[in-house]
């Protein structure tokens, strides 16, 4: 094991230890906020694996999250299937079903790819309302879906365990040649193809990985919420929150989407007691915009730059 | 031996003292009421303000058990996920004792699992979804802290069938309709009720159903398509930006009568919002509504409301403002009898609440609740924890589930159905022949 890897593993261990101790120091209300941040981080990581790395901007992630969420919700709520079975089936359905849907889109590039994926989200929004509303609950959705556990602390640990497992898995995956190839596609796809690698296969693998995470996150998310409605998932605001989390934290990194999700979720909830109305979204949007304009590489780079500056100031004084 | 008895007595006395202290100090810091709903819509603000006035009055009368009642609010933006976050915020950050909701259907459905988890007494003043009452029936123990003081949509639809039969079919002689509904959960749900209930029961055939996007700004092609169907009238279902479709209907002088559900037309600002071009349409409305003759007690509430909020919209409370006002009064009366907002004791006392508001010696509005197992005769089903509506003429056992209001071309309003509450007559616009 190389020294940098050891260093990063140590940082992961410290991060996990801090997060595990968090319920001892913060209120249940704060834990509830972090639960949402954990799920948002999962969705943002999922988006980043495909879009952040390869540059193929997907506007259809709610489509994938929705397949996972709706499949598990329908199986458990309508057919009394145990969650232990419905979640893996939902993940499988998302990975296979999502891939079949998106396969033709992977031949497209740039804005065409983005528009097609956006159309998938809209398609899903219409489908769940029209096709078998007796199963999907139609426009109003379903309420009273079985939850995995109850209480802020239990759900916090569950969502954190899921998020950190996905994050570390993706971190390890992105350190392989596969991860490097994906980043290379983002930089220059033609060069990658010229080097003899099949970019279509690589993109397909990236998409399937992304869909797997989205399905997993969606399935767990619905069993946390206990309810599902088309308007909650197939929504442009939901989509933008996912993308902004990845971008504001730092795209093409693992820690970036996690950091971005935590920052955005906590910022919005912190403003609630002071500005309970829509004004907080104005402040929230403005802060996000300023941060992104000031540091387009993301908050992670901002923090690292600040640390470097502090380090150089300290070393110059000493 | 006497020592042992003395010790036991002392322990017992201590236990009593501790219990008494705990009971009295349970609300020593006051009671917290949480509001969950939209803080930017007229209907949401109506509920927020109605509850605020009731709390002000309760505080002026000494609060709850001598302690002040605190009021905190959480915005849902009419978004399902925001609704869940808002409920969690009220429950776990603010630790409220009671929640008053001004939420729409899918938002309420979103936070209901949280209500079951936290077991916080909750009163819904806006959503009328019958599916929630069905959930109370199916899982009474889990849902018993939930109350809805607006008539559920099945009751609304039943009375609307009567309107269709008595006015649209019999009086006007219409037998075909084209439905124009927005692409929302509300639009889809009401369309289902109209297509499956109103049309067949009233002998009216649905010739076409046109779904439009809520962001639509040009309705001329949509109205052209509606007119081309040859239907006798248009049934509009609109809850978002309803003033746009209404004002274009008037400006374009669409040669078909239009009735239905138009949420913007439930408020007095409708006339301003349409630039004085919203006349000639009618809409169903839960009670009380604009154009609804008020009983003295409700009028007093409106007077307080207008004095407090002046020109800030909504200048006249929507129906759920009244529901919130009376609902808060009832929730605290129940809490007084139950010794607080205990999730087991409070619902029992809330079920006993029954405010009958009279006008000219007859029952006009009623804030009571259907008991578990109590069957409503006309529909033959139960509505536990739903407001005690009356859908059978002469409506002498409660408030009707809804009324139909008419906006005339001169900007005046009137209730046109049912006859007991009517202050005017159904009218088609002057340009419709």
Each residue's pLDDT tens digit, B70-107: 999 999 988 889 999 999 999 999 999 999 999 988 89
Average pLDDT of the residues in A149-173 = 96
Confidence of residue B256 (pLDDT cuts 50, 70, 90): very high
Average pLDDT over residues B27-38: 85
Contacts of A142 in chain B (CB under 8 A): 109
List of residues 6+ apart from B410 with CB closer than 8 A: B279
**Which of A34, A25, A50, A27 shows the shortest CA–CA distance to A259?**
A34
| Ordered domains of chain B (ranges, CATH) | 31-152+294-382 (3.40.50.2300), 154-290+400-421 (3.40.50.2300)
Q: How far is CA B390 from CA A63, A66, A279, in A?
A: 44, 41, 41
Choose between A143 and B19: higher pLDDT: A143
Residue B207: half-sphere exposure toward Cβ, Cα within 13 Å: 16
State in Å, rounded, how far the first CA of chain A is from the last one.
33
Chain A residues with CB under 8 Å of B84 CB are: 225, 227
Nearest to B106 among A32, A140, A272 (CB): A140
Exposed, middle or buried by CB within 10 Å (0-12, 13-18, 19+), for B307?
Answer: exposed
Predicted local distance difference test score (pLDDT) of residue A293: 85
| CA nearest to A146 within chain B | B113
Distance CA B226, CA B147 (A): 39
Task: Number of A to B CB contacts under 8 A, please give it.
Answer: 111
| Residue of chain A minimizing CA distance to B136 | A144
> B342 versus B3: which is more confidently predicted?
B342
**Pairing mode, strands B403-407 and B281-285:** antiparallel
pLDDT band at B20 (very low <50, low <70, confident <90, very high): very low
Q: What is the DSSP string of B346-407?
A: HHHHHTT--EEEEETTEEEEEE-BPPTTPEETTTTEE-TTBB-B--STT--SSB-S-EEEEE
**Contact criterion met (CB below 8 Å) for A148 and A158:** yes
A107-111, A276-280, B244-248, B416-420: range with lowest mean pLDDT: A107-111
Q: Which one of B76, B93, B94, B127 makes the best mutation probe of the A interface by having the most chain A beta carbons within 10 Å? A: B93
Rg of chain B (C-alpha set) = 24
H helices then E strands: how many in chain B? 15, 16
A238 interaction partners in chain B (CB closer than 8 Å)? 81
pLDDT digits (tens, 9 = 90+) for A197-253: 988 889 999 999 999 999 999 999 999 999 998 888 888 889 999 999 999 999 889
Q: What backbone phi and psi angles, to 5 degrees, belong to B21?
A: -65, -45
Flag the least confident range among A30-34, A210-214, B37-41, B302-306.
B37-41
Measured in degrees and rounded to the nearest 5, phi and psi for residue B139 equal -135, 70
Query: What are the Cα distances from residue B26, in Å, to B18, B67, B333?
Result: 12, 11, 17
Say if the Cβ atoms of A143 and B77 lie within 8 Å. Answer: no
Mean pLDDT of B57-82: 94
Q: What is the pLDDT of residue A209?
A: 95
CA distances from A141 to A58, A73, A129 (A): 25, 10, 8
Mean pLDDT estimate for chain A: 90
In which band, very low, low, confident or very high, does the pLDDT at A302 lie, cut at 50, 70 and 90?
A: confident
Q: Helices A83-102 & A110-130, crossing angle to 10 degrees?
A: 130
pLDDT > 60? residue B24 = no
- The verdict on a CB contact (< 8 Å) between A129 and B188 is yes
In B183-246, beta strands by DSSP E? 205-212, 233-238
The minimal CB distance from B92 to the residues A144, A152, A229 is found for: A152
Q: What is the pLDDT of residue A181?
A: 92
* CA dihedral sign, ordered A81, A85, A90, A95: negative
Query: Closest chain B residue to A221 measured between Cα atoms?
Result: B81
Sign of the torsion angle spanned by Cα atoms A238, A242, A243, A248: positive
SS3 B229: coil
Tokens of A37: 């941040």
Q: Are strands A142-143 and A227-228 parallel, antiparallel or unpaired?
A: antiparallel
Answer whether A278 touches B (CB < 8 Å): yes
Which parts of chain A are beta strand (E)?
A: 142-143, 227-228
According to DSSP, the residues that pair with B233 across neighbouring strands are B177, B257
Q: What is the interface pTM, i.e. ipTM, of the complex? A: 0.88
As a whole number, mean pLDDT of residues B391-414 equals 93
The pLDDT tens digits of the residues spanning A23-66 come to: 999 999 999 999 999 999 999 999 999 999 988 888 989 999 99
pLDDT digits (tens, 9 = 90+) for A55-75: 888 898 999 999 999 999 999
Residue B78 forms contact with A (CB below 8 Å): no
Chain A residues touching residue B131 (CB < 8 angstroms): 140, 143
Q: Which pLDDT does position B26 carry in this prediction? A: 46
Say which residue, B224 or B195, is predicted with more confidence.
Answer: B224
The whole-angstrom separation of Cα A56 and Cα A106 is 9
Mean pLDDT of the region A157-184: 95
Percent of chain B with pLDDT over 90: 74
pLDDT of residue A300: 86
pLDDT digits over B102-126, tens only? 998 889 999 999 999 999 999 999 9
In this complex, do A225 and B139 lie within 8 Å of one another by their Cβ atoms?
A: no
Q: How many CB atoms lie within 10 A of CB B130?
A: 20
Which of A151, A232, A277 minimises the CB distance to B39?
A: A277
Rounded Cα distance, B218 and B223, in Å? 10
Would the CA dihedral through B275, B281, B283, B288 be positive or negative? Answer: positive
Whether the pLDDT of residue A82 is over 90: the answer is yes
In this prediction, residue A97 has a pLDDT band, given cuts at 50, 70 and 90, of: confident
- The mean pLDDT of chain B is 90
Query: CA-to-CA distance for A59 and A69, rounded, in angstroms?
Result: 18
pLDDT at B21 over 80: no
CB contact under 8 A, A225 and B110: yes
């Amino acid at each position: 094991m190389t020294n940098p890897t050891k260093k990063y593993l140590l940082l992961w261990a410290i991060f996990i230890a801090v997060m595990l101790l968090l319920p001892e120091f913060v209120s249940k209300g704060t834990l509830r906020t972090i639960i949402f941040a954990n799920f948002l981080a999962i969705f943002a990581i999922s988006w980043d694996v495909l879009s952040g790395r390869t540059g193929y901007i997907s506007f259809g992630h709610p489509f994938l999250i929705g397949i996972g969420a709706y499949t598990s919700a329908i199986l458990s709520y309508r057919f009394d299937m145990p969650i232990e079975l419905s979640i893996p089936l939902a993940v499988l359905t998302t990975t296979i079903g999502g891939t079949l849907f998106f396969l033709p889109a992977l031949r497209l590039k740039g804005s065409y790819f983005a528009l097609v994926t956006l159309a998938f989200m809209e398609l899903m929004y219409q489908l769940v309302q029209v096709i078998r509303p007796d199963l999907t609950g139609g426009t109003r959705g379903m309420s009273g879906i079985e939850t995995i556990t109850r209480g802020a602390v239990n759900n916090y640990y569950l969502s954190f365990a899921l998020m950190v497992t996905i994050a570390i898995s993706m971190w390890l995956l992105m350190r392989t040649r596969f991860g490097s190839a994906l980043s290379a596609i983002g930089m220059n796809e033609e060069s990658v193809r010229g080097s003899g690698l099949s970019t279509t296969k690589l993109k397909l693998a990236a998409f399937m990985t992304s869909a797997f995470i989205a399905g997993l996150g969606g399935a767990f998310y619905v069993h946390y919420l206990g309810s599902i409605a088309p308007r909650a998932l197939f929504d442009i605001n939901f989509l933008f929150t996912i993308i902004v989390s990845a971008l504001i934290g730092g795209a093409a990194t693992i820690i970036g989407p996690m950091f971005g999700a935590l920052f955005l979720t906590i910022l919005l909830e912190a403003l609630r007691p002071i500005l309970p109305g829509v004004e907080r979204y104005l402040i929230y949007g403005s802060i996000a915009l300023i941060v992104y304009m000031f540091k387009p590489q993301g908050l992670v780079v901002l923090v690292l730059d600040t640390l470097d500056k502090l380090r150089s100031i300290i070393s110059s004084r000493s | 031996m006497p020592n042992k008895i003395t010790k036991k007595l002392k322990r017992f006395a201590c236990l009593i003292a501790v219990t008494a202290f705990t009971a009295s100090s349970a609300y020593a810091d006051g009671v917290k009421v949480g509001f969950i709903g939209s803080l930017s819509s007229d209907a949401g603000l109506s509920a927020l303000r109605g509850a605020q006035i009731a709390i002000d009055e309760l505080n002026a009368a000494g609060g709850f058990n001598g302690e002040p009642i605190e009021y905190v609010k959480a915005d849902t933006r009419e978004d399902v996920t925001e609704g869940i976050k808002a409920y969690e915020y009220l429950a776990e950050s603010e630790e409220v004792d009671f929640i008053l909701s001004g939420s729409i259907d899918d938002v309420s459905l979103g936070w209901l699992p949280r209500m079951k988890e936290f077991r916080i007494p909750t009163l819904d003043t806006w959503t009328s979804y019958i599916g929630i009452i069905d959930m109370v029936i199916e899982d009474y123990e889990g849902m018993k802290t939930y109350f809805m003081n607006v008539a559920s949509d099945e009751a609304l639809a039943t009375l609307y069938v009567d309107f269709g039969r008595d006015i649209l079919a019999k009086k006007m002689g219409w037998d075909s309709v084209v439905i124009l509904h927005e692409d929302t959960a509300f639009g889809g749900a009401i369309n289902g009720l109209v297509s499956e209930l109103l049309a067949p029961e009233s002998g009216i055939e649905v010739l076409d159903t046109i779904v439009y996007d809520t962001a639509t700004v040009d309705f001329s092609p949509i109205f052209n398509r509606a007119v081309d169907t040859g239907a006798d009238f248009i049934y509009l279902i609109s809850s978002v930006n309803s003033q746009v479709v209404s004002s274009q209907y008037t400006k374009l002088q669409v040669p078909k009568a239009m009735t239905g559900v138009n949420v913007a037309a439930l408020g007095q600002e409708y006339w301003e919002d349409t630039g004085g071009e919203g006349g000639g349409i009618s809409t169903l409305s839960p009670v009380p509504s604009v154009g609804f003759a008020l009983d003295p007690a409700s009028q007093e509430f409106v007077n307080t409301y207008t004095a407090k909020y002046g020109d800030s919209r909504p200048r006249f409370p929507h129906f759920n403002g009244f529901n919130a006002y009376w609902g808060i009064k009832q929730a605290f009366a129940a809490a007084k009898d139950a010794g607080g907002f205990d999730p087991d004791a409070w619902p029992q006392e809330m079920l006993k609440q029954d405010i009958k508001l009279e006008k000219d010696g007859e029952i006009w509005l009623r804030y009571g609740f259907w008991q578990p197992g109590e069957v409503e005769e006309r529909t033959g089903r139960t509505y536990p924890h739903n407001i005690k509506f009356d859908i059978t003429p002469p409506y002498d056992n409660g408030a009707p589930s809804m009324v139909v209001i008419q906006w005339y071309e001169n900007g005046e309003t009137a209730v046109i159905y049912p006859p007991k509450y009517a202050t005017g007559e159904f009218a088609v616009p002057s340009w419709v022949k």
